[in-house]
Every structure is written in C-alpha cells, then in structure tokens.
Amino acid sequence: MLTLLVIEFVDEFVYGAREAAWPLIRDDLGLSYIQVGILLSAPNLVANVVEPFLVILGDVWRRRALILGGGVVFGVALLLTAVSNSFSLILAAFILFHPASGAFVSLSQATLMDAEPKRHEHNMARWTLAGSLGVVLGALALGAGAAAGVGWRWLFVATAIATVAVIVFAVRMPLGGASSARQAEPFTAAFGRGLVGALRSFKRLPVLRWLVLLEFSDMMLDGLHGYLALYFVDVVGVSEAKAALGLAVWTGVGLAGDVLLIPLLERVRGLTYLRFSVVAELILFPTFLLVPGLGPKLAVVAMLGFANAGWYSILQGQLYSTMPSQSGTALAVKNISGIAGSLIPLGIGAAARAWGLGGAIWLLLAGPIVLLVGVPRAKKDPPRL
C-alpha cells in the first residue's frame, strides 16, 4: 500500500506545484486566459480518450508493465515541461503527461482498490490523504521558490528525478494485474471483452449517477484549484507568492479534513457526511467571492478546503463498489464520462475573457448545486463503534 500511496503523492505534488505556478507560467510564456483554458482542458480531453484503453488493459493484460512504463513517460513529460519556452511546447508536455499519469497513477489506484474490495471508501480516503499531502507540499515548494526568486522550472526537474527513484523502488513491488485465467485468454478477446463491459456499464443507472456526480464535484475540486492562484493575482490583486500561500491554505486545511475523514468513515456513512459538506460549500463559496480583502478571503478559503474534503474519495469509492472486481473498467468509464467534463476549464477561460475572472468563477457553483440534488440519502444505521 505504501508504494501505491507514494506514487499518488508524487503525482499530486506535481499538480499542486503546477496549479500554484499558473501566474508565473502565464507571465513567463505570455499566455492569455484562452490559452490557460486550453492547457487545462486539452490534456484532460486527450487523457479521457486514451486512458480508457490503458485501464482496460490493466484489467485484462500486464498491469505491472503499464504502471512502470507510464512512470517513465511521466518523468519525461516533467522534464519537457521544465524546458518549455512556448505555448505549443508546454501544451505538448501536458498532453504527454496526462495519459502517462493515467497508466502510472490511476492503475496504482485500481491496484489499491483490488487489495480490499470491502473497504473502497476507506482506502480511497487514504489515497486522497496521500494526494492532499502532495498538493500542499507542492504549492508550498512553489511558493518558497517564488519568494526566493528561483522560478517554477526547477521544481519540475526535481520531481522528475524523484519519479525515477519511485520507479526504481516500484520495480521490486507486486503491482497487480490480470488473473492467470485472463492471462491465458487471447489478448484481443480479453481486451474486446473488457471494452464491451465498459460500454455496457453506461446502461446502469447507479453507475451513471456516480459518474455525473464525480464530474460536477470536480468543479469545486480541480476546477477551482486550476483558477484559484490566478483569482488571487488578477481579482484580489496580490503577488504570485501570496497567491501560492492562498492555494497552500486551501489545500492545507483540506489535508486536515482528509486526515479527519479516515476515522470519521468508521463511524458515519460517507454519503451522510457528503450531504452536510455540500450544504456548507454552497454557503462558503459565495461568501469567499463576496468578502473583501486578502485576510478574510484566506479565512473563508480555508473553510472551503475543509468542507470539500472527502468528496472525491467518497464518490469514487461508491463507483468502485457499484462495479465490484472491475477496478480498471470503473476507471475507464470515469475517463469516458470525463470527456465532457474536461471542457469545463476551457469554458471558464472563455467566460473569464468575456466577463473577467471575477465573474466567470461563479459558474463553479453549479458543482455543489448538482451534488445537493443528486446525492442519495443514506439509510440510517447505528454508528459503527
């Protein structure tokens, strides 16, 4: 489990550093809001087309080879990002990075889910905690680098080196894969069966419910994360270092929420907690946008980060539980459904160009509204002692 969690930590460290670095990347490469939106949307779109094939292969073929090979490409994409000097080059680096992360990280998550099929929510909470720790430290590292005047590129080089170390360690670990019966099956037949199974999953209403809720929940997770540093710089009017601090506050308090979520799920149903947190988010997000001044916004954004802790782990855990013994297929249908969701950042970028970022960011409120309507009420059970 530790090896898999370290892989998630490295991936989210990169993500946290990149999201905090957007003001620096934008200024360094002279990017517009539309170009930022493309950089946030196009790589996800490509990944959501490519990853279903990779994760289905992870169910029916050599998962270990896919994880390790994805790790190698992951490191190469980091180096390419570090040397990018134009919009087209950094776009190519991001497009390479996202499918590589699908093989390296998503299949590691599937392996973790296969280890304990009856504890999906709990292990997803541990997975999310490892990722949250990476996001916080990535944002803090970027903020420290910005304050020291060393820029953003060094962090991608350092993380590429760390990725090599993780791969060397992971080579010695059992990383799951197809059963012996599936390995004996012809490759084309196994892959065809896996693809058909993924497409048939879209006919199941419980699967569709969790896919829709996952996409809309992401508006207040990755969607807000992608534009938060730019919001602090362009709307609040603070420096890039203070913007990175704001991002670190949001993710840092979210990390505390992820820590508390693990014991909480032993006593309270995840869906019960989720409904209360959605109501809190519906109150806090407009408050964050309306309250003036950096100090009050930092206080509210901290509460925002705490309130949405656990959204991804609970919803993704529900999807895995709806598709038992199909961890790779569950990831595949999530990627397919994410094709539409990957266009949301581009839409926010286009709206920011027309209305300004301060107005466009209100569109993210659609996420908790849909969750409030769509999350089913959990049956009342006595507390688990």
Confidence of residue 259 (pLDDT cuts 50, 70, 90): confident
Please state the rounded mean pLDDT for residues 66-88: 94
pLDDT band, residue 385 (cuts 50/70/90): very low
CB-CB contact of 93 with 77 (8 Å):
yes
- Note whether residue 16 is domain-resident: yes
pLDDT bracket for residue 342 (50, 70, 90): confident
Check: CB of residue 215 under 8 Å from CB of residue 341.
yes
32-76 pLDDT, tens per residue?
989 998 998 888 888 888 888 888 777 777 788 889 999 999 999
Mean pLDDT (whole number) for 76-92: 94
Read off the pLDDT of residues 303-329 as tens digits, 9 standing for 90 and up: 999 998 889 889 988 988 888 777 777
In this structure, is residue 239 part of a structural domain? yes
Give residue 379's pLDDT.
56
Measured over the CA atoms of residue 232, residue 237, residue 240 and residue 243, the dihedral's sign is negative
Higher pLDDT, 378 or 17: 17
- Selection from 9, 39, 13 nearest residue 227 by Cα: 39
Torsion of the alpha carbons at 200, 203, 207 and 208, rounded to the nearest 10 = 130
Given a cut of 60, whether residue 235 has pLDDT beyond it is yes
CATH of the domain at 94: 1.20.1250.20
Q: At 178, is the secondary structure helix, strand, or coil? A: coil
User: Exposed/middle/buried for 172, CB within 10 Å: 0-12, 13-18, 19+?
Assistant: exposed
Highest mean pLDDT among 29-33, 72-76, 116-120, 242-246: 72-76
Q: Give backbone dihedrals phi and psi of 343, rounded to 5 degrees, phi first.
A: -85, -10
Tokens of 142: 């970027």
Query: 383 lies in a domain?
Result: no
Structure tokens that stand for 155 in this block: 């962090």
What's the angle, vertex CA 147, arms to CA 144 and CA 148, rounded to 5? 85
Does residue 382 form part of some domain?
Answer: no
Residue 385 lies in a domain: no
Read off the tokens for 144.
Answer: 């420290």
> Does residue 114 carry a pLDDT above 60?
yes
Q: Give pLDDT, residue 90.
A: 95
What's the structural domain count of the chain? Answer: 1
pLDDT at residue 384 above 60? no
pLDDT in tens, 261-311: 888 888 888 889 999 999 999 999 999 999 999 999 999 999 999 998 889
Mean pLDDT of 97-116: 86
Look up the domain containing 108 and give its range: 2-178+187-374
Does residue 81 lie in a domain region? yes
Per-residue pLDDT, 383: 41
What gap in Å lies between CA 61 and CA 74, rounded to an integer?
21
CA–CA distances in Å: residue 8 to residues 48, 103, 132, 170, 229: 18, 12, 9, 13, 22
Model pLDDT for residues 127-159, shown as the tens digit of each residue: 888 888 898 888 889 888 888 888 899 999 999
The pLDDT score that the predictor gives to residue 179 is: 44
| Side-chain-facing half-sphere of 225: CA atoms under 13 Å | 24
Residue 331 has pLDDT above 90, yes or no: no
- Residues 179-228: pLDDT tens digits? 434 455 565 766 777 777 777 888 888 899 999 999 999 999 988 988 99
Inside any domain, residue 276: yes
Residue 30 has pLDDT above 80, yes or no: yes
| Burial class of residue 251 in the structure, from the number of CB atoms within 10 Å of its CB (0-12 exposed, 13-18 middle, 19+ buried) | buried
Look up the pTM and report it.
0.72
Q: How many residues are listed for the chain in this entry?
A: 385
- Structure confidence at residue 381 (pLDDT): 41
Q: CB within 8 A of 282, min separation 6: which ones?
A: 365, 368, 369, 372
Q: What confidence category does residue 118 fall into, taking pLDDT thresholds of 50, 70 and 90?
A: confident
Reply yes or no on whether the pLDDT at 173 is more than 80.
no
Residue 130 belongs to a domain = yes
Buried b (16+ CB within 10 A) or exposed e, 280-315: ebbebbeebbeeeeeeebbebbbbbbbbbbbbbbbb
pLDDT of residue 382: 39
The crossing angle, in degrees rounded to 10, of helices 187-201 and 33-60 is 120
Residue 158: per-residue pLDDT = 92
> Could you tell me which residue, 59 or 20, shows the higher pLDDT?
20
